Amino acid sequence: METTGWGGLRRFGAYALVTLVPVVWLGFVLTHTFRTEIERDAIQEARAHAATVSAAALEPFLRGQPFSLGLTSDERVDIARTTSTLLERGTVLQLRLRTNDGQIVFDAADPAAGPGDAIIDPEVQEAVELGSLVALTTVGSDAVDGKQVDGAPAVEAYIALYAVGQPDRVVGVAEMYLPYAPIAEGQQHTLNRLLFTIVVGLAILWMVLAALVLSVARRVRRHSEQAERVALHDQLTGLPGRAIYADRVDAALAAAGRLGTDVALVVIDIDRFKEVNDTLGHRNGDALLRIVAERLTAALRPGDTVARLGGDEFGVILPGVRSDSVEAILRRLQDYLAQEAELGGVVVSVEASMGYAMWPCDADHADSLVQRADLALYAAKTARAAIVRYHPGVDEFDPKRLGLIAELRRAIGADELVLHYQPKVEAATGRVVAFEALVRWVHPTRGMVPPNDFIPIAESTGLISPLTHWVVDTALTQLAEWSRSYPELSMAVNISARNLRDDLPGWIMNRLAAHGVRADQLVLEITETSFATDPVRATALLEELNAAGVKVSLDDFGQGYTSLGSLGHLPVSELKIDRGFVLAMETSPEDRAIVASVIELGHQLGLTVVAEGVETEAARDDLLGLGCDTMQGYLFSRPLPAAQALGLLGTAPLRV
């Protein structure tokens, strides 16, 4: 931190200037106030002095005759005597006696002179009225003296005079000029002392303020620097946070651009971190993050950057690497992370998924590089691959899709999903024997989103599990309600291949019991392709459900390539002919032939055969002739909201 040197001096200079202005102003105001005060004191002093002179040297000798009648000769003699002493000593510079109007009747400088001209002097009249008038002036500046401009500084005092024993009758006015110099000297002395005190006091005040301000400023700066560090660095691991990471990405690309080298941007996500947090507690979760941070930092070169991007996600910038050596570096990182660590008494080994993108090969600017490294990580997670480099053309990488994932996660909990129900109709009678529950997403801004637009996303992200749980629960609630009036009714729900997990049968049985619905009222529609990935496991799970009484229907049959030979071994009780064949059968003899042989084959294997996508009466009649058991399609009804679907149950057979 910079406390001395040029920066410190500059700051101090600025402080000095800014604070000097009010301090100087304060000094000026104080000085002015004191000067005025002192002048007032001087005048007071002069007034007292003049009063003493008139009381001691003038009034005792007055006989009571107003000056307008002139002085008596006794008065003139006495007063000339006393005032000459005053003039000699210099205590009074000039002394005149004047009538109440202002006419001069006696002048101490020339006691023998007769009365002057009759004039009116307002200063004299004011003294008669108020008793006295005192002011700073210069000798000889009054009108009666001819307004001299260069007289000595003096205090002029006009004092009303009373004869002894006549305290309410003004006989005339004494005009005196008292020397200002001795008064001014004392005054100046006091002022100087005051000025000195003010200047020293203000200087001390200014310095104390300076010390205070500087120390506060230093503390504030230290705090803000610390706050900035905390905000920019992750507190748990001490690694740079997102803001620094973004800056370093920019810097790395700029440097690489100059040097003509490549930059790899890697995003790392710890596998099953949530499990560690949930089972070993947050403290151990934090410890794990710290271990990962330390190991990543230790494994990389000093010029590389490791940052924590949030949660269990880390970002790594590798400047100046060749794209063909990145995988080797990342594998080394993975080995490093995989070393066993002890957490809360449990030995764990950290596994991590990594996605990366290369600059300038995979993206030409920072934003898209960051985004593409993210997408690569997402692909690594989805594909359960340890390391994935970004490559274009995979629809999983579509950012719009990523946005939809986040929204779908919310939608499942936020009541934005609804089920519509499409009837399955018994071919021979036209009676509704079952409903198929089909999910829709009532999106707040996109409106009704069809399942084909979001089921694949749910399947590839793990959201299919909560989604299916919601669908089954909602459909069973509906079925339980309708069953009270229609106990033979059954409900079909679509189950995705990703739902075929070991806990499925137990969960389904649990929900049936919870809703009080018989197992044979539930049909699980599973596509042929669900068997493709892990046929043994899928078969085992469905057998378990079948044994418990739940029916399984093979949806969209004919689209995949289930060998007809294996069909007999699958635990299914219903075949649903794919609507593509049904829609085309009236125009294409080949499709009609396939429909016919599927019906034939299904019956041979003891299965119920359903035709979906029945839109026309011709198709219906044809299918009826071919012996199809059940039909479903727009001809009978589109998928409907629950309230409308219920209406179909009470009515006459549908279009038979």
Binding site for ligand C2E (CB under 6 A): 422, 438-439, 450-452, 455, 471, 494, 496, 525, 555-556, 579, 612-615, 632-634, 639
* 615 token code pair: 């839109």
Nearer to Mg ion, 525 or 574 (CB): 525
| Cα 57 to Cα 81: distance, rounded to the nearest angstrom | 9
- Residue type at 54? S
* 632 token code pair: 């479903």
| Cα 269 to Cα 283: distance, rounded to the nearest angstrom | 19
Nearer to ligand C2E, 37 or 459 (CB): 459
Size of the site for Mg ion (CB under 5 A): 4
Task: For the CB of residue 385, give the shortest distance to Mg ion in the complex, in Å.
Answer: 31
Nearer to ligand C2E, 159 or 607 (CB): 607
Task: For the CB of residue 565, give the shortest distance to ligand C2E in the complex, in Å.
Answer: 24
Task: For the CB of residue 555, give the shortest distance to Mg ion in the complex, in Å.
Answer: 4
Task: For the CB of residue 500, give the shortest distance to Mg ion in the complex, in Å.
Answer: 16
- The binder of 639, among Mg ion, ligand C2E, none, by C-beta within 5 to 8 A per type, is ligand C2E
- The binder of 591, among Mg ion, ligand C2E, none, by C-beta within 5 to 8 A per type, is none
- The binder of 471, among ligand C2E, Mg ion, none, by C-beta within 5 to 8 A per type, is ligand C2E
Nearer to Mg ion, 376 or 524 (CB): 524
- The binder of 357, among ligand C2E, Mg ion, none, by C-beta within 5 to 8 A per type, is none
Nearer to ligand C2E, 327 or 615 (CB): 615
Task: For the CB of residue 292, give the shortest distance to Mg ion in the complex, in Å.
Answer: 44
- The binder of 439, among ligand C2E, Mg ion, none, by C-beta within 5 to 8 A per type, is ligand C2E
> What track of x and - describes contact with Mg ion for positions 520 through 539 (by CB under 5 A)?
-----x--------------
- The binder of 450, among ligand C2E, Mg ion, none, by C-beta within 5 to 8 A per type, is ligand C2E
- The interface region with Mg ion, picked from 58-66, 512-520, 548-556, 558-566 by CB under 5 A, is 548-556
| Cα 209 to Cα 241: distance, rounded to the nearest angstrom | 39
Nearer to ligand C2E, 155 or 419 (CB): 419
Task: For the CB of residue 390, give the shortest distance to ligand C2E in the complex, in Å.
Answer: 30
Nearer to ligand C2E, 49 or 424 (CB): 424
- The binder of 103, among Mg ion, ligand C2E, none, by C-beta within 5 to 8 A per type, is none
- The binder of 455, among ligand C2E, Mg ion, none, by C-beta within 5 to 8 A per type, is ligand C2E
Exposure of 21 by Cβ count < 10 A (0-12 exposed, 13-18 middle, 19+ buried)? Answer: exposed
Nearer to ligand C2E, 83 or 465 (CB): 465
- The interface region with Mg ion, picked from 219-227, 489-497, 585-593, 632-640 by CB under 5 A, is 489-497
Task: For the CB of residue 508, give the shortest distance to ligand C2E in the complex, in Å.
Answer: 14
CA 114 to mean position of chain CA atoms: 97
Q: CA 249 → CA 103, 353, 358, 391, distances in Å? A: 101, 21, 12, 20
Shortest-Cβ-distance residue relative to ligand C2E: 633
CB 93 within 8 A of CB 107: no
Nearer to ligand C2E, 54 or 530 (CB): 530
Q: For the chain, what is the largest distance between any 2 Cα atoms, rounded to a whole number of angstroms?
A: 168
- The binder of 451, among Mg ion, ligand C2E, none, by C-beta within 5 to 8 A per type, is ligand C2E
Nearer to ligand C2E, 558 or 613 (CB): 613
In this structure, the strands spanning 608-612 and 574-577 are parallel
Nearer to ligand C2E, 132 or 529 (CB): 529
> Residue 564's closest CA among 512, 605, 616?
605
- The binder of 541, among ligand C2E, Mg ion, none, by C-beta within 5 to 8 A per type, is none
- Give yes or no for residue 499 binding Mg ion (CB under 5 A): no
| Cα 295 to Cα 340: distance, rounded to the nearest angstrom | 12
Nearer to ligand C2E, 308 or 620 (CB): 620
Nearer to Mg ion, 263 or 628 (CB): 628
Element (H, E) at 597: helix 589-604
Task: For the CB of residue 633, give the shortest distance to ligand C2E in the complex, in Å.
Answer: 3
Task: For the CB of residue 634, give the shortest distance to ligand C2E in the complex, in Å.
Answer: 4
- The binder of 478, among Mg ion, ligand C2E, none, by C-beta within 5 to 8 A per type, is none
Give the angle 591-592-595 at the CA atoms, nearest 5°: 90
Nearer to ligand C2E, 494 or 608 (CB): 494
CB 623 within 8 A of CB 614: yes
Task: For the CB of residue 560, give the shortest distance to ligand C2E in the complex, in Å.
Answer: 13
E strands in 369-416: 387-389
Residue-wise DSSP of 167-232: TT-EEEEEEEEEESHHHHHHHHHHHHHHHHHHHHHHHHHHHHHHHHHHHHHHHHHHHHHHHHHHHH
Q: What's the order of all strands across the beta sheet hosting 132-138?
A: 104-107, 94-98, 170-179, 153-162, 132-138
- The binder of 634, among Mg ion, ligand C2E, none, by C-beta within 5 to 8 A per type, is ligand C2E
Element (H, E) at 425: strand 417-426
- Taking the CA atoms of the chain, what radius of gyration do you get in angstroms? 55
CB 423 within 8 A of CB 431: no
353: left (phi over 0), alpha (psi -120 to 50) or beta: beta
CB 545 within 8 A of CB 572: no
Give the angle 153-157-158 at the CA atoms, nearest 5°: 145
| Cα 78 to Cα 57: distance, rounded to the nearest angstrom | 9
- The binder of 288, among ligand C2E, Mg ion, none, by C-beta within 5 to 8 A per type, is none
Could you identify the residue written with the tokens 């880390």?
Answer: 314
Torsion on CA atoms 224, 226, 231, 233, rounded to nearest 10:
150
Among 494, 546, 630, 632, binds Mg ion (CB under 5 A): 494
User: Which residues within the stretch 549-568 sit at the binding site for Mg ion (CB under 5 A)?
Assistant: 555-556
Q: Which residues bind Mg ion (CB under 5 A)?
A: 494, 525, 555-556
